[in-house]
Structure formats: C-alpha cells, structure tokens
Amino acid sequence: MANFIEQIIDGDLAKGLDRKSLRFRFPPEPNGHLHIGHAKAICLNFGLGEKYQAPVNLRFDDTNPEKEEQAFVDAIKEDIKWLGFSWAEEKYASDYFQTLYNWAVEMIKNGAAYIDEQEQSIIIEQRKNPGEPGIESPYRNRPTDESLALFQKMKNGEVEEGAMVLRAKIDMNSPNMNMRDPVMYRVLKKPHHRTGDTWKIYPIYDWTHGQSDYLEKISHSLCTVEFENHRPLYEWYLNQVKPQEELGPKQREFARLNLSYTVTSKRKLQKLVEEGHVSGWDDPRMPTISGIRRRGYTPQSIREFCQRAGISKRDNLIDVSLLEFTLRDELNKTAQRVMCVVDPIKLIIENYPEDQTEFIQTENNPEDPASGTREIPFSREIYIEREDFMEEASGKFFRLTLGQEVRLKGAYIIKATRVEKNEKGEIITVFCSFDPLSKSGSGSLESKRKVKGTLHWVSVKQAVSCKVRIYDRLFTHPSPDADKEVDFLTHLNEDSFKETEGFAEPFLAQAKMGDSFQFQRLGYFCVDKDSQKDKLVFNKTVGLKDSWKKD
C-alpha cells in the first residue's frame, strides 16, 4: 500500500502534475555523521526516486560554518553510497549564496525585509508568546536605503558579529511564531569549508532551504514534523522570489524515527564522542550509520528495517529489537556457522591419543546448501566456554559437570572426571574421557545416544587467538532523552562494553574486515577494523535470540 507521502504525490499526478517534473532531495547538514534516523529520510527520498523513476539530489545544507566540515561531507557521501543509493546531483546550499543575497536585496527594495540593530535577546523578547501580540522593532519601518546600505556593510565585513541582522517583514502578531519577522541573515566572520572567507554573512536555514529547493526544481520537499509550522514561512519566502503562477516545491512532513534505548540527535551523539563515552562516531554501539556498519549491520537490513518501520505522520517510538530482528533474519540465511570460544577453559581428553588430530566435516551453513562444507580439527586438548562447565550443578544445568555426559558439537560424547585448580581455587583445567564410538554421523548406536547438552569447542593446537568485543545497549532507559529535565547521560549503560580473549577455529584466520559469522550458540559476530594479521578482533553484532529482558 502506498504510504501517505506517495498518496500525496499520486494525488498531484492525478491533478495533472507532469511525471517528469518529480524531483526529490536529501538535505543533510554536514555538522556530524548520519544516524539511523537519517537512514529513514534517505530511504524515503531515494525510495521515491526509485518508485517514480525521478532524480534525487544530495544537497548539503551548509549555512553554518561554525559547525560544518569537509570531513563530514565526505563521511555522509560514503554512508549514502554504502546504503546502496546514488544521487542525481551533488549540490550545496552555499552554491546559492550569491543568488540568495541578490534576492534578499530585492526584498529590501520591495519593503519585505529590513536591518534590525537591536540585540538578539531583545529581538527574542519582543517576539512574545503565541497568545499575545509581539512588539515591532523600532527599525522595522526604517527607510529602504538605510537597510540597503547596512546590508551591504554587513556583507563587506564592516559590521561586528551580533551588531545587526536582516529580518523579513511579515507579521509581529501572527499566531505562528515563525512568521514574527524571522531573521534571514546574521554576521559571522568564520571561514566556510567551501566558500572560504568570501562571505561575512550567512543565511538562516528557513531562508535557504525553500529557495534551494526552488532553484533545484524539487517537486516535493520532505522534512520531519518539527518543521510543520515552518511551512507557512517556507511558502511565504517562495512567494517573494517566484512568479505567482509558477508551481513551487511542496513541503510535506513525516514523523521522525525514534528508536528505543537510543538517541538520534547529532548534537547528543557528538557529546558522547567528545566526552569519551564511546570510542568515536563509528563506535559499534553508536546509532550512526558508520557505527552500525562497524557493528556488522548490512545495508539491506537497514533498508528493510526502514521499510518495516514505515512512514507515518505522527512521531512514535520504534522498538530497537525490530532493527535487531531484521538483521538476525538476514544473517541467519547468509552467515557461515563457525566455532569460537569467547571465555575459554581448557579441557583434556585423557583417553584420546596425544599426537592425533582428526578432521570433522561440517556444513558451512545448513540454511544454505550451496555454501558447502569444511573441516575442523579435533584433538586431545580443546577449549570450551567457562560457563559451560560446573563441578556440581542442579538438574537444570544441561552442560558439562563431573560425571555427566555431553556431546562436543559434530564430534564425540565426553564425560568430565576431575578438575585442576590454581592456588586461588579457580578451575584451570577440566579432565575428561571420551567415547570413541560416539562420533556424530558415524552411524553407530553410540553416535545416536541422546545426551542433554551439546557444546561448541575449539582444538587448542590449531586455535586462532582473538579478541571478542561484546556490546550491550548504550542506554538503560527506553527513551533516554524524552525527559527534558534529566540529562540523557544519566541513563548511560555502564556495562555496554566488554572485551574478552577468545579462541576460534583455524578457518577464521582467513577472515577479512567486515566478514560476518555465526559463532555457534553465541550469536553473530563480524571482523572489526582493529584486527591485525595475528590478532583478529570480533564485534558481537547481535545475539541468536532477543535476550533483552522486557521491563
């Protein structure tokens, strides 16, 4: 079924809008890295482009040189490409600075804009509140020539920052605060990452956005709902620059993506990075595109997630487990099954010949017969997970205990006989015996014997040592930034990161950065960029099941 944005477009086409004039854009501000919320806007705009065979521009909304950088531009482009989309044209709001300036001069001449020399705090104060009339600036009706001359001075850098601004002359009594003579330009003596120090004044978002849409002939300009009450201003500005009979771009609003246990605001994400709560923008716990990519998410899973989350008119909170579910669903079909022990304890099979190694034939992925098979070495000394052994345990523990039998996956049935401890009383080695007739798949009666537990394992002699990074949610609260009175950082999960030294089967020595695997019984893991030739680093992407306890 068509979402409500598609219904609007279909309606416009039905009313006679030429299909060829459909054009969309994705307009990021290059002041940070893209996050999962932006992925929704990207999938929406580029998805419309695919559906209607229409061009989609990438436009950098670069009107604030204080916070913007070329590095962010580059990272944003990389992220969009990685998601699998390509843009028609790469544009910058700064490409339009001269045109915008010329238009602003025309507006002053038409009596639609004026220079205000009051302090910012006074301007804000005079706006008042929606229920009461605002106060007009004493400069509001100054002669056009004065405003023109001052605007020229602002542009030439002859005016100090904060000394004056250009304001649109609209309506100081409007119930819509955005219409109470909004600021169009401020003085800012900062070099811009593209225009250098050509400009000493910079246009405000509202004045820039719609005109950029107009210049690029965007038919439908889609933004998030907090801009709904900017729509009258968007249209007012367009009417200052375009002929009345011309159809301008149409602004429509859709709900932001809010994800539980997550913040999606560049400013807050920046704070996490700057204060060192995470290792960087691409920390695998971050909801940035670069973070979730490093965590092991695939472009398809993110696109699929955005599809499932849908496009709605009103804000809602999407459960982060939907994102995890979507990925798990995909990796289950594609990820190779391997064995890795993340918190090892050594096991010695005393009745297994000392210098023997045998190879266990195993399927790479039972969900995908085309993925083939491989061999895993098995020998006298192996690693198992520390938590898979207890000296004594209750009847509910179906793993290894003294005197109890379990199966080593794909191999033999073993029975633990005794343990060796260090001086602190910690178990360092578990001794056991194996049943040579019980080998999986051998067809013997013993191979069919039922035992309660099956453990994964890695042969010590051939093991590849690795670091395993286990992540949990970054926040303990489902809406960490919902309460404006409480600092979102108070909801940080102190235990969201843990690193262990593990051992993997030798096949993994060939793994390359970004490769994803299912570590049997543990979850999905991918190779991190910190990996070195002799020390692989794995990130836990997601568990096998949704293990997060419901509150």
Q: Would you name the residues annotated as active-site residues?
A: 29, 256, 266
DSSP codes joined into one string, 98-109: HHHHHHHHHHHH
| Residue of 22, 23, 24, 27 interacting with ligand ATP (CB under 6 A) | 27
Task: Tell me whether residue 29 or residue 304 sits nearer to ligand ATP (CB atom).
Answer: 29
* 521 contact partners, CB below 8 Å, separation of at least 6: 455, 456, 544
By CB neighbour count within 10 A (0-12 exposed, 13-18 middle, 19+ buried), where does 95 fall? middle
What is the nearest approach in angstroms of ligand ATP to the Cβ of residue 73?
A: 11
In the complex with ligand ATP, which residue's Cβ is closer, 223 or 349? 223
Residue 363: C-alpha distances to residues 5, 337, 508 (Å) = 46, 8, 15
Select the binding partner of residue 23 from Mg ion, ligand ATP, none (C-beta < 5 to 8 A, by kind).
none
Degrees to nearest 5, angle at CA 272 with 266 and 275: 130
- SS3 for 43? helix
Distance CA 390, CA 247 (A): 74
Best CA proximity match to 438, nearest among 457, 410, 458: 410
Which range touches ligand ATP (CB under 6 A), out of 32-40, 170-178, 422-430, 509-517?
32-40
Whose Cβ is closer to ligand ATP: residue 213's or residue 324's?
213
- CA-atom Rg of the chain in angstroms: 31
CB of 129 to ligand ATP, least distance (A): 25
CB closer to Mg ion, 92 vs 114:
92
Least distance (Å) from Mg ion to the CB of residue 463? 49
Which residue's entry shows tokens 């000493």? 200
Mutual orientation of helices 205-215 and 97-109 as an angle, nearest 10°? 110
The nearer residue to ligand ATP, 28 or 65, going by C-beta atoms, is: 28
Q: How far is the CB of 479 from ligand ATP (least distance, A)?
A: 13
Span from 13-21, 258-266, 429-437, 477-485 in contact with ligand ATP (CB under 6 A): 258-266
The reply on whether position 29 binds Mg ion by CB under 5 A is yes
The interface partner of residue 223, options being Mg ion, ligand ATP, none and the CB cut-off 5 to 8 Å by kind, is ligand ATP
Closest approach, Cβ 223 to ligand ATP, in A, equals: 5
Q: How far is Cα of residue 340 from the mean position of the Cα atoms in its chain?
A: 28
| Inter-residue contact 508 to 464 (CB < 8 Å) | yes
The CB-of-68 to Mg ion minimum distance in angstroms stands at 11
| Shortest reach from residue 318's CB to ligand ATP, in Å | 10
Q: Which is nearer to Mg ion, 29 or 530 (CB)?
A: 29
95 counts as binding Mg ion under rule CB under 5 A = no
Binder to ligand ATP among 23, 37, 241, 517 (CB under 6 A)?
A: 37
Task: Kindly tell me which residue out of 5, 12, 22, 28 binds ligand ATP, with binding defined by CB under 6 A.
Answer: 28
The residues near 287 (Cβ < 8 Å, ≥ 6 apart) are: 35, 36, 37, 259, 262, 263, 264, 269
> x/- binding map, residues 261-290, to ligand ATP, per CB under 6 A?
---xxx------------------------
Options 22-30, 109-117, 207-215, 223-231: segment touching Mg ion (CB under 5 A)? 22-30
103-132 residues labelled b (16+ CB within 10 A) or e (exposed):
bbbebbeeebbbbbebeeeebeebbeeeee
From the list 131, 206, 222, the residue with the least C-alpha distance to 168 is 206
Report helix, strand or coil for 143.
coil
Give the residue among 204, 199, 200 at the shortest CA–CA distance from 183: 204
For residue 457, give the nearest of 538, 362, 367 by alpha carbon. 362
Rounded to the nearest whole angstrom, what is the least distance from the CB of residue 386 to ligand ATP in the complex? 41
Applying CB under 6 A, among 257, 286, 382, 406 the residue interacting with ligand ATP is 257
Q: Quote the CA–CA distance of 42 and 6 in Å, as a whole number.
A: 15
Give 404's Cβ-side CA count (13 Å radius). Answer: 20
Residue nearest to ligand ATP (CB): 37
480 contacts which partner out of Mg ion, ligand ATP, none, CB within 5 to 8 A by kind?
none
Single out the residue of 126, 174, 176, 224 in contact with ligand ATP (rule: CB under 6 A): 224
Structure-block tokens of residue 74: 């580059």
- Residue 53-82 contact track with ligand ATP, rule CB under 6 A, x = bound: --------x---------------------
Binding segment (CB under 6 A) for ligand ATP, from list 47-55, 173-181, 256-264, 372-380: 256-264
Residue 223 sits in the site that holds ligand ATP (CB under 6 A): yes
Q: Where are the beta strands (DSSP E) in 389-496?
A: 389-390, 400-401, 405-408, 413-421, 427-435, 454-455, 458-459, 464-471
**Which of 242, 252, 256, 521 touches ligand ATP (CB under 6 A)?**
256
Least CB distance to ligand ATP at residue 416 (A): 52
- Of 38-46, 96-104, 339-347, 383-391, the window that binds ligand ATP (rule: CB under 6 A) is 38-46
**Phi, psi angles (nearest 5°) of residue 341:** -110, 120
Binding segment (CB under 5 A) for Mg ion, from list 24-32, 39-47, 287-295, 343-351: 24-32
Q: Which is nearer to ligand ATP, 152 or 307 (CB)?
A: 307
**40 touches which of ligand ATP, Mg ion, none (CB within 5 to 8 A by kind)?**
ligand ATP
Distance CA 440, CA 114 (A): 85
Query: CB neighbours of 93 closer than 8 A, spacing ≥ 6?
Result: 59, 60, 61, 62, 63, 203, 208, 209, 212
- In the sheet with 516-519, reading across from the earlier edge strand, the strands are 336-338, 516-519, 523-527, 536-542, 464-471, 497-504, 340-341
Binding site for ligand ATP (CB under 6 A): 27-29, 37-38, 40-41, 61, 223-224, 256-257, 264-266
Binding site for Mg ion (CB under 5 A): 29
